[in-house]
Amino acid sequence: MTDDGLPPLRDVVEACGIEPSRALGQNFLFDLNLTGRIARAAGPLAGVPVVEVGPGPGGLTRALLAEGAEVVAVERDPRCLPALAAIAERYPGRLTVIAGDALAVLPSGLPVRADGRPWRIVANLPYNVATPLLTGWIEAEPWPPWFDRMVLMFQREVAERIVATPQERADYGRLGVLCGWRTRARILFDVAPSNFVPPPKVLSSIVELVPRPVPLPCSVASLSRVTAAAFGQRRKMLRQSLKGLATPAGSVDAAALLERAGIAGTARAETLTVADFVTLARLADGAEPLPPATPND
Ligand code: SAM
């Protein structure tokens, strides 16, 4: 038994017959010291409603509960459900398990909380759906969103794209613009492959994303379209790559758009700041450009 009175995770996985599945992105954490560190990075958690995606056999779940969180865990693999049921029994009334696909379940399938507290998302994400899940959460409407913070494990390369700025051009792209627009994102620490079972090929990182209360004003749909066009052909000059941009109102005159935004047609997407992209998104929507020096809060 471990400190929480539950069996070691290795034994749990064996008893439940959970042979790790690549298709489900299953790289488990068995070290409760490490899962404790991740949970504390998301804390303090006493009484905090936490959503965990992919609890698997429950290593991180157990750490979150030990820190006092009230956890809703969404798991796609039915083989993990008996292990999670045993954890729920150990922490009565504090763990709800939803069997399903997090892409479909969140956030509409979450229980309604009487206290209206926002959720905190904490997860060792399955790598195959990590980026679509994050993008969906960042594009949430309305904003401020249904969560107050995210503390998530990604492959290091994805973590670098999330926190990238125009100064780090190789990593800067759509994900960096969207995350930088609506959140303050930073890498908290790295996790070596040897900590996982089975070990992945690459380094992983824990990333914290805190929603900005008042991001620069523009429509998420327009910003998504502009960044998709601009980074879709990132080596081309913007006057060329934005030719592909279309809005619900019709096609856009890329040269005129860039001129109104005060951006050279010869510039490339990776040199534009978040505020530049917001200005382009606003103009493409028929709105006025941002007033100079509007802060991104
Ligand atoms: N949290 C556990 C840990 O840290 O040891 C497991 C993490 S493992 C990287 C990812 C987990 O996500 C697996 O348990 C997998 O079955 C689950 N999963 C994969 N795709 C999912 C999806 N679309 N929705 C919910 N869970 C998913």
- Separation of alpha carbons 280 and 297, rounded Å: 19
In a domain, 146, yes or no: yes
> pTM for the complete prediction?
0.96
Residues 281-296 have a mean pLDDT of 85
CA 208 / ligand 1 centre spacing (Å): 19
Can you say which residues are annotated as belonging to the binding site? 27, 29, 54, 75, 101, 124
Residues 197 and 226 in one domain: no
Q: What is the 3-state secondary structure (H, E, C) of 94-111?
A: CEEEEECCHHHHCCCCCC
Asked if residue 174 has its Cβ within 6 Å of ligand 1, the reply is: no
Report the domain count for the chain: 2
Task: Give the structural domain span for 13.
Answer: 9-211
Calculate Rg over the CA atoms of the chain. Answer: 21
127 closest CA partner among 191, 34, 212, 50: 191
The string of pLDDT tens digits covering residues 192-217 is 999 999 999 999 999 999 999 999 99
Across the chain, mean pLDDT equals 95
Residues 38 and 57 in one domain: yes
Of 154, 183, 211, which residue is a domain's last? 211
Under the banding of pLDDT at 50, 70 and 90, the label for residue 1 is: confident
DSSP letter (8 states) at residue 183: E
Residues 76 and 186 in one domain: yes
Residue 233 has a pLDDT of 85
Pocket test for ligand 1, best of 24, 52, 125, 133 (most atoms within 8 A of CB): 24
- Separation of alpha carbons 232 and 173, rounded Å: 9
Residues 124 and 268 in one domain: no
What is the residue with the minimal CA distance to atom 10 of ligand 1? 126
CA 87 / ligand 1 centre spacing (Å): 16
Residues 129 and 198 in one domain: yes
